[in-house]
Structure 1
Amino acid sequence: MHTLVLYGCAVAVVVPGSRLVIDQLGDQQVGPGRLLAALWRRPVPRAAAVLVGVMTAMAVVQTVVPGVMPHLERAPHGPWWRVVTALLVQTSGWGQLAFNLAALAVVAPVAERRLGAVWMPVVFLLSGVAAHVVSTVGWSVHGGGDSVGICGLVGALATSYALRGRQRQLRLLSVLVPAAGVVLCLMENNHGIGVMTGVVLGAAFALVAEGSRERAVAV
């Protein structure tokens, strides 16, 4: 049952996330290669490019020098900065490494185009750090990975779209993401912390953007 609930939560995050990606492309149905080309079209989202570049470089580092991972992953009695560096290493093997890089290459440019070059990395960092802090306190004291930051980006995208999106059906579908985040938190899965941190930041972004739009109209 535990595994089924986890898979259900994954579906509740991935399906709306995929629809948000397609919406960013104007509802175009394209293959994987053309999808990446469309997401990384000009003007290239530079913050996303830097983030993907850093994570790709770290993937090479941990592959060539696997001994670096124990020095960067989260640890209960390690220095505080490990909750940050834990985002840089994927400690669960090649599957995690490949999936997270692919997910980041898709989600990061979409998040930057919707949230902006400042909000996107802030959401990624704060969501990831919050998840690793909670894990270090007791949920899962050892490990690392940036999927929690990616979940934060999906949470922020879903919430900002639910509040300000143009398609009613997709706005309703986006509500599944915070619902999955709550369930994951109840299961003490750190991806739930990532999602919910992103949800809060996405709501803040939507409110700030709405306030800026109203001031611009008033002027």
Structure 2
Amino acid sequence: MDAVLFNLTTGALMVLIFLGGRTVVGVETVTRRRIPWFAVGLTVVAVAGIVTQLCWSGAMDFFDSDPAKSGWWRIVTSVFMQNGGLLGDAFNLVTLAVIAALAEWFWRGPLMLALFAGGIFLPQLVDTLFGATGGSTDPRNFAGSSGATYFLGATLAAALLLRSRVVKERLLGASVPVLGLALWFAQENGHGLVAAYGFVLGAVVWLAGRRVLDPERDLTRAPRRTVGSVTAIVRKPRAGV
């Protein structure tokens, strides 16, 4: 029962993160935005990680982030290993692809990758600074992309809170760290805590760079290839049939 509740509350937090990201980007603008190639690349790497696990039985032992093992690369490679079973792995891949795309449209590709990297390194840094005992605050359990994904998505919630003038939208943005911290204190759910970390970093980045960030650039200077144009190409053969 505890595991079911944990999964439900973790999923609820992701729903809020997704809604916040979709709102700050503008769901009606998606078809006019460029293909999020950085997000596509990140997702391809995650898929390659799963394929590696399927093809090599020793992949998890070599790439995970178990502190009992040596290897400087583990903190990064462990993000692209998955240990949540079929449904958990699928959830991680889908949420990574969607949240990374939303974040790329808002922050642009290089900054999105930098914030994703923050989701990889900052939880461990905070654990080290505060001398975490009884387990890391990082929810990856030595492997998995969920921690960095929740962190990245929460940066969009911060931007929504600070950027929007609509009360409902600001409440949606604020609900992410509130629920995240509630999950941490009630369940020791690390997804909630890393979401709070991401929210703080997102707020700092938006406040520091809002004068130069241009989330609407795709809308004012339309790219040659957009989500809508690719969708039209995919649908055209079906229409002919």
Q: Same fold judged by TM-score > 0.5?
A: yes
Distance in 2 of aligned mates of 1:42 and 1:160: 19
Opposite residue 60 of structure 1, the aligned amino acid is V
Match for 2:207: what amino acid? L
In 2: Cα distance, 1:142 partner to 1:12 partner: 18
Between stretches 177-186 and 146-155, larger displacement belongs to 177-186
Residues 124, 180 of structure 1: CA spacing in aligned structure 2 closer, same or farther, 3 A cutoff? same
Distance in structure 1 (CA, Å) of the matches to 2:14 and 2:90? 19
Q: 1:128 and 1:180 mapped to 2: Cα distance?
A: 21
Whole-Å Cα distance in 2 between the matches of residues 124 and 45 of structure 1? 15
Mapped partners of 1:88, 1:12: distance in 2: 21
Does residue 153 of structure 2 align to residue 154 of structure 1? yes
Identify the structure with bigger relative contact order (alpha carbons < 8 Å, sequence gap 6+): 2
* Structure-1 separation of matches of 2:50 and 2:193: 24
Alignment of 1:72 onto 2:63: yes
Q: How many residues get paired?
A: 203
- Residue 143 in 1 paired to residue 142 in 2? yes
RMSD: 2.9
User: Is the contact made by 2:116 and 2:148 (CA closer than 8 Å) also made in structure 1?
Assistant: yes
Aligned AA for 1:11?
A
| SS of residue paired to 1:175 | helix
Distance in 2, matches of 1:132 and 1:144, equals: 13
What is the identity, as a one-letter code, of the residue corresponding to 2:21? Answer: L
Q: Is the 8 A contact 1:72 1:85 kept in 2?
A: yes
User: Where does the alignment leave 5 or more consecutive residues of structure 1 unmatched?
Assistant: 29-37, 214-219
Structure 1 counterpart SS, 2:82: coil
Counterpart for residue 206 of structure 1: 206
Kindly indicate whether residue 49 of structure 2 is the aligned counterpart of residue 58 of structure 1.
yes
Trace 1:2-151 onto structure 2 (pairs within 5 A): 4=5, 7-8=8-9, 10-21=11-22, 24-27=25-28, 38=30, 43-79=34-70, 80-131=72-123, 134=127, 138-139=134-135, 142-151=141-150
Q: How far did residue 27 of structure 1 move?
A: 4.4
TM-score norm. by structure 1 comes to 0.78
Larger radius of gyration: 2
Q: Residues 191 and 26 of structure 1: is their aligned pair in 2 closer, same or farther, counting only changes over 3 Å?
A: closer
Rounded to whole Å, the distance in 2 between the matches of 1:161 and 1:168 is 11
The one-character-per-residue Cα deviations of 1:94-145 (angstroms, maximum 9, x if unpaired) are 2221111111121111101111212211111221333456499642695310
1:6 and 1:184 in contact (8 A); partners too:
no
The alpha-carbon deviation at position 22 of structure 1 amounts to 5.4
Q: Would you say the 8 A contact 1:181–1:195 is kept in 2?
A: yes
The verdict on how the C-alpha distance between 1:96 and 1:178 changes in structure 2, with shifts beyond 3 A counting, is: same
Change (3 A) 1:155 1:23: closer
Q: 1:27 to 1:168 in 2, by over 3 A?
A: farther
Q: Matches of 2:181 and 2:27 in 1, distance apart? A: 30
Kindly provide the amino acid, as one letter, of the partner of residue 192 in structure 1: G
Identity among equivalent positions (%) equals: 30
**In the alignment, is residue 190 of structure 1 matched against residue 181 of structure 2?**
no
C-alpha distance in structure 1 between counterparts of 2:101 and 2:142, whole Å = 26
